[in-house]
A and B are shown apart, each in its own frame.
Chain A
Amino acid sequence: MTVIFGIAAVLAFLGALGVVLSQRTLYSALSLVLNMVSLAVLFLLLDAQFLAAVQIIVYAGAVMVLFVFIIALLSPGAEERVRPLELRMLLGGVAAVVFTVVIGRLTLNGITVGPGGRFHGGIGPFAPTVVNAHGQVQTVGEQLFTTYLLPFEVTSLLLLVAAVGAVYLSKRRRLVA
């Protein structure tokens, strides 16, 4: 278990670095695919099989294909190198490292879950065994259509708006710059 987590985590992190550091856009996109597949594995580890599937299908499938299409369409050239030690880079890097360190410190020392833990909220009824017995997809579905019905509907509206917007934006006419 730990081994799988270690491999997937390293791969995901490498993928992420690849996205940011690659010179060519296509390499970035491919790194992102690596990252997402690794994440899907991690989701499986967390007993979220449904989401792992969605991750693969939506992200690695649809979204990344879209990215690659666009890259192929526009064929943007290599970006000029990020100027090293630029203020931006420096601040951003420092902030990123500090952020990770702080989170790490917090999680290692502070946050625990379960009864008596510092993380409030208690333990819910959805233990992995229960969920799996009922069925992963069924559980998520029931939640979606009962407790989270309104957000779900709003999300559908959002998707619709996005679709309309995309169609509108990519119509062949002069865009407002």
Chain B
Amino acid sequence: MNPTLILVLSAVILGLPTAGFLVNALTLGRLPRRLVAWMGPGVVLAAFAATVVTLISMLSRPATDRGITIVFWHWLNASVASGSGVSAQAGFNANFSVRIDPLSVLMMLVITGIGGLIHVYSVGYMAHDRGFNRFFAYMNLFITSMLLLVMSNTLVFLIIGWAMVAFASYALIAFWYDRPSAVVAGRKAFVTQVIGDVGLVLGAFLIFLNLRGPAGNLLHTVNMQTIFANVGPGAHFHNGLGAYGAGLVTAIGILLFLGAAAKSAQWPLHTWLPDAMEGPTPVSALIHAATMVTAGVYLVARFHPIYQQAPVAAAVVACVGIGTALMAGIIGCTQYDIKRVIAYSTMSQIGLMIFAVGIGAYSAGMFQFFTHACFKALLFLAAGNVIHSLHDDQDVRLMGGLSRRMKWTYWSFAIGALALSGIPIFAGFFSKEELLGNGLALGPAVPWLWVIGVSVNVLTSFYIFRVVWLAFRGEPRSEHAERAHEAPPLMLIPVMILAGLATVVGFLNIDFAGFAPVTVFSAFLQPVLGSPHSQASAAIAGLALLAGVVLSLLGVGLVWAVYERGLIARDLISKRAAWLYRLSFNKFYWDEIYDVALVRPTVALATTVRGLIEPNLIDGAVTGIREVVGTLADDFRTFQTGYLKDYALVFFFFAVVGLVVLGLRLS
């Protein structure tokens, strides 16, 4: 790869969305809408084109030579060389550099490609919105931040991108800022993300302060390539950090995962994602399905050299992932808001990806990310069409019978649902089954995590087809549903492109333990993520594959039985196992728990500080001193007649006293 070419290309890729944002922001929303409608998606699609050029240029090189690091500028350097009476002191130093390699290019392709489609869709979706320009400013800012996140070769800039996407996400969730619920949801998302950022920052500190080079010298670097090159076996972190002891790498792994969990809505930092559906639907598709929420997966995959050294941390990652997948699946079955169902499905699917990268199946996790980006964006955009035509109704109980009125949308949504459920030939089938298959050979507690993962399949296909049935089939249950109409072409074409992608991209990687292997995808990522790991034997893998498909179909069958035929009563669960239903419907009460355990104590503490400590203790101390002084002053007050001569008298009197004292000493 030609460094100059890559420099220019990456500058273009990062610069175009930035420019789009700046132009929109600095003109203070005065640009004509038509211009913005071209510029907003235009910059992203142009960045996509540049990414494709990068990809082509990369593919022309041998697989061993597909990574390149480009330094843009020195961000800061606090080190001092010796001289002028100062001995050398090493301080923090960091460059702004980007890393172009297969993993980052894959992420860039998804971000700019799917992001571009969603931008185009947004032109239609937001056409009548008052904040059209503001919307595209934030969207472009998000693309920039997300690209920064995945391209950065410096830990600090990864953190910067990490926090900037959080801001962009906040701004877009609270985009309709006159809705109080949107405002609160935005704040919740932002604060949760900042918690994750802090974890990431602390992890970065640990790496920076403790990483040693081959000679045993401290490296003090935030350059990610240097970090990865030196964390492998034989070049360990130094374990001298007092209380951290031998668990240093584990601590780093857990701290980094704290950031990943916040971003990817994994337990225990997951509660913001469903609320984030307050934002416009394209936002949900772009940020809360395709790109930002998968950043956690990217982070763990990118830092796999560290997780390979920290099996405990990796196991924690895997367990949290699979646990979140199960929990979100259960919650998704009882929700009525169409976007929230998809949001919980996102949480669940990302749980599976996190599980994959936790057990070491990095390439499988990334493949699931890739297909998921296609079909989940598809589902959100199709749901967006529905919501748009129903005038912002999101409750599936108010829908019904839309398949006749919105045929294209219906079929697209159905393809998305099939892909999500992992029904064969659709993208999700290839990625998810491969991913789950790894659970039979890798990670902790084999094969029990696989058992959980594969049983999530039932839930997945159940909740998504439940939405398909409730929303699209049957009879319309509201006026809006009766008057629903198909979306305009601008919003339909991106949906259909995504539907096509969701059907075909699975064929990029067919890897079922030796059945007709096609390994385009994993071979592409191999230079970064290493070879796919040994799998279970072909027979067991085949059985597992079969089990997965059967369970998915079981979910669809259940929906058919409950909603189409009425063979099983709808309220079976809510009657027989009311506690389970309530648990699911109330999202396992996490919001309430956090409210009681964290939010309220903090607010109570703050109120105490303001209402009690400030006026009584702090000001009180001051007032107390003043009162003591004041009382003393009252005693002396009889002297303060206000007559100048009395003051003079006192002065004279004491001057004489002083003189007497002096005189006695002198004589």
Q: Is B663 an interface residue (CB 8 A)?
A: yes
B645 in contact with A99 (CB, 8 Å): no
B404 to chain A, nearest CB (A): 94
A interface, size bucket: 10 to 19
A102 in contact with B660 (CB, 8 Å): yes
A91 in contact with B663 (CB, 8 Å): no
B666 in contact with A106 (CB, 8 Å): yes
A91 in contact with B653 (CB, 8 Å): yes
User: With contacts defined as CB atoms under 8 Å apart, how many contacts are there between chain A and chain B in the complex?
Assistant: 29
Q: Is A122 an interface residue (CB 8 A)?
A: no
Contacting B at CB under 8 A, from A17-35, are: none
Q: Is A120 an interface residue (CB 8 A)?
A: no
B667 in contact with A99 (CB, 8 Å): no
Contacting B at CB under 8 A, from A76-132, are: 88, 91-92, 95, 98-99, 102-103, 105-106, 109-110
Of B656, B663, B667, the residue contacting A95 (CB under 8 A) is B656
B interface, size bucket: 10 to 19
A102 to chain B, nearest CB (A): 5
Contact A91:B667 (CB < 8 A) given known A98-B660, A102-B660: no
Q: Is B446 an interface residue (CB 8 A)?
A: no
Q: Is B571 an interface residue (CB 8 A)?
A: no
Residues of B within 8 A of A98 (CB): 656, 660
Residues of A within 8 A of B666 (CB): 106, 110
Residues of A within 8 A of B663 (CB): 102, 105-106
Interface flags for B616-647 (1: CB within 8 Å of A; 0: not) read: 00000000000000000000000000000110
Inter-chain CA distance A170–B667, complex, in Å, is 51
Residues of A within 8 A of B653 (CB): 91-92, 95
Of B645, B659, B660, B667, the residue contacting A88 (CB under 8 A) is B645
CB nearest to B648 among chain A residues: A92
Of A88, A95, A110, the residue contacting B646 (CB under 8 A) is A88
Q: Is B229 an interface residue (CB 8 A)?
A: no
Contact A106:B667 (CB < 8 A) given known A88-B645, A88-B646, A88-B649: yes
Inter-chain CA distance A95–B659, complex, in Å, is 11
Q: Is B72 an interface residue (CB 8 A)?
A: no
Contacting A at CB under 8 A, from B22-45, are: none
B660 to chain A, nearest CB (A): 5
A105 in contact with B667 (CB, 8 Å): yes
Inter-chain CA distance A54–B667, complex, in Å, is 36
Q: Is B652 an interface residue (CB 8 A)?
A: yes
Inter-chain CA distance A102–B649, complex, in Å, is 18
A83 to chain B, nearest CB (A): 14
Inter-chain CA distance A88–B649, complex, in Å, is 7
CB nearest to A118 among chain B residues: B666
A96 to chain B, nearest CB (A): 8
A106 to chain B, nearest CB (A): 5
Inter-chain CA distance A110–B662, complex, in Å, is 12
Inter-chain CA distance A88–B656, complex, in Å, is 15
B663 to chain A, nearest CB (A): 5
Contact A110:B656 (CB < 8 A) given known A88-B645, A88-B649, A91-B649: no
Inter-chain CA distance A17–B666, complex, in Å, is 30
Residues of A within 8 A of B660 (CB): 98, 102
Q: Could you jot down 27 A-B contacts, CB within 8 Å?
A: A88-B645, A88-B646, A88-B649, A91-B649, A91-B653, A92-B649, A92-B652, A92-B653, A95-B649, A95-B652, A95-B653, A95-B656, A98-B656, A99-B656, A99-B659, A102-B656, A102-B660, A102-B663, A103-B659, A105-B663, A105-B667, A106-B663, A106-B666, A106-B667, A109-B667, A110-B666, A110-B667
Residues on B lying within 8 angstroms of A by beta carbon are: 645-646, 649, 652-653, 656, 659-660, 663, 666-667
Further 14 A-B residue pairs, CB within 8 A, beyond A91-B653, A105-B667, A106-B666: A88-B649, A92-B649, A95-B649, A95-B652, A95-B656, A98-B660, A99-B656, A99-B659, A102-B656, A102-B659, A103-B659, A105-B663, A106-B663, A109-B667
